[in-house]
Amino acid sequence: MATRPGCDFEPDHPKTSSTAASITHNPNRVATPPIYHLSFNQNHTCFLVGLQNGFRIFDTDPFKPSFRRDIDTHGGIGLVAMLYRSNIFCLVCGGPDPMYPRNKVMIWDDHDSRCVGELSFRSEVKNVKLRRDMIVVVLNQKIFVYNFLDLKLLNQIETVSNPTGLCEISHNSSPMVLVCLGLQKGQIRVENFGSKKSKFVMAHDSRVVCMSLTQDGRRLATASSKGTLIRVFNSLDGTLLQEVRRGADRADIYSLAFSSNAQFLAVSSDKGTVHIFSLKVDSGSLPSLPNDRSHFASEPIHSRLSSLSIFKGVLPKYFSSEWSVARFRLPEGLQYCVGFGHQKNTIVIIGMDGR
């Protein structure tokens, strides 16, 4: 994996001279205003930042500020979702003194500079996912799916407690695949909107804290509260395809991301590391979704196995684990969101500290 110079993504601040592989502290760096939200758009071409005074959009390649919207009154943006690179956004207020209640989703048309729709709920909105045909709103124990054009409610899904709003949807497949928490600890639910069938998968013994879905919805990666193992499943039938090891000690997993061709998986944690894993599953071995118009590019993939893997079944499981093929060091204790760049073998890492 190649590294390129890192920089601050708050446009009002000077750039630093740190690199993505080893970020050093700059004592002269201007403090970044509180960041309430950080995420990529659907294809990682840009990322979104919710702040106490509005929100910002940045292009990832090349890195540059795209545009900003400031809020003149009090309150901040606690959640912002963007439909690819269009003028349509979903906004949820946040911060210590939000302008609107956190149980309301505002659909904002930036071309007309006005709110074109609202969705209100009985409890706080935890996450919003967008497709060209659907809006998915995640609450603590419920998920609502709406038709984008007329905001007609299409489906309601109950989950276990979901304080971080875990939910993933496919973007390149039609019909949609939605993945969320199930009805018990460690369980994942897969909703196929084509077959109209639900699949429940026991992914982990402990709580699921992070997940990622490939663009076509055929592969799912999950991490638990232990943070040691990452599991990759066939989302259609629940089959475990691969298990990779981040480390031996517990860690808080913040972000999982598949590369666009699903050959690599990136993992960020509170240990100050981003791990890159090679995925060995050939796309030809996976069944297609109904009416699926997407495909993976196929190239040889090589995983890094422990040198003691020949003793699999004799030594403890740790010694036959699959390990990362690349690793990037970052300051510990900070939350990072990771995605793959559009240039081959590059990643983009954005941090809640504004770098």
Phi, psi at residue 177, to the nearest 5°?
A: -110, 130
Locate CATH 2.130.10.10 in the chain. 126-280+321-354
CA distances from 247 to 79, 230, 306 (A): 31, 10, 12
Location of structure tokens 């993505």: 20
Q: How many residues does the chain have?
A: 355
Q: What SS3 class is residue 258?
A: strand
- What kind of architecture, by CATH, is found in domain 126-280+321-354? 7 Propeller (2.130)
Q: Are 41 and 56 in contact (CB under 8 A)?
A: no
Locate CATH 2.40.10 in the chain. 33-120
Q: Single out the residue of 96, 1, 88, 102 nearest to residue 48, CA to CA.
A: 88
User: How far is it, in rounded angstroms, from Cα 226 to Cα 248?
Assistant: 10
In this prediction, residue 298 carries a pLDDT of 31
CA torsion, points 319, 323, 328, 332, in degrees to nearest 10? -50
Question: What is the distance of C-alpha 286 from the center of its chain?
Answer: 23
Q: What SS3 class is residue 222?
A: strand
Token digits of residue 17: 């001279």
Q: Are 128 and 81 in contact (CB under 8 A)?
A: yes
CA distances from 167 to 45, 126, 178, 179, 211 (A): 20, 10, 7, 6, 8
In this prediction, residue 344 carries a pLDDT of 84
Kindly give the confidence (pLDDT) of every residue in the chain, 355 residues in length, as a single tens digit, with 9 standing for 90 and above: 544 545 555 544 333 333 333 223 344 445 557 899 999 998 898 999 998 888 999 998 888 998 888 876 667 889 999 988 888 899 999 888 788 889 999 998 888 777 888 999 999 999 999 998 999 999 999 999 999 999 999 999 999 999 999 999 998 877 899 999 999 999 999 999 988 889 999 999 999 999 999 999 999 999 999 988 999 999 989 999 999 998 888 889 999 999 988 899 999 999 888 999 999 766 444 445 444 433 333 333 344 544 444 445 554 554 456 888 889 998 888 899 999 988 888 899 999 888 8
Token digits of residue 336: 């990072």
DSSP 2: B
DSSP 110: T
In this prediction, residue 284 carries a pLDDT of 46
Location of structure tokens 């038709």: 147
Measured in Å, how far apart are the chain's first and last C-alpha atoms? 20
Phi, psi at residue 75, to the nearest 5°?
A: 100, 170
Q: Are 305 and 325 in contact (CB under 8 A)?
A: no
- What kind of architecture, by CATH, is found in domain 33-120? Beta Barrel (2.40)
Q: Are 273 and 260 in contact (CB under 8 A)?
A: no
In this prediction, residue 332 carries a pLDDT of 84
DSSP 168: E
In this prediction, residue 331 carries a pLDDT of 87
User: How far is it, in rounded angstroms, from Cα 88 to Cα 110?
Assistant: 6
User: How far is it, in rounded angstroms, from Cα 290 to Cα 287?
Assistant: 9
Token digits of residue 215: 């663009």
User: How far is it, in rounded angstroms, from Cα 10 to Cα 49?
Assistant: 9
Q: Single out the residue of 209, 347, 336 nearest to residue 273, CA to CA.
A: 336
CA distances from 348 to 2, 47, 167, 233, 259 (A): 11, 10, 21, 24, 11
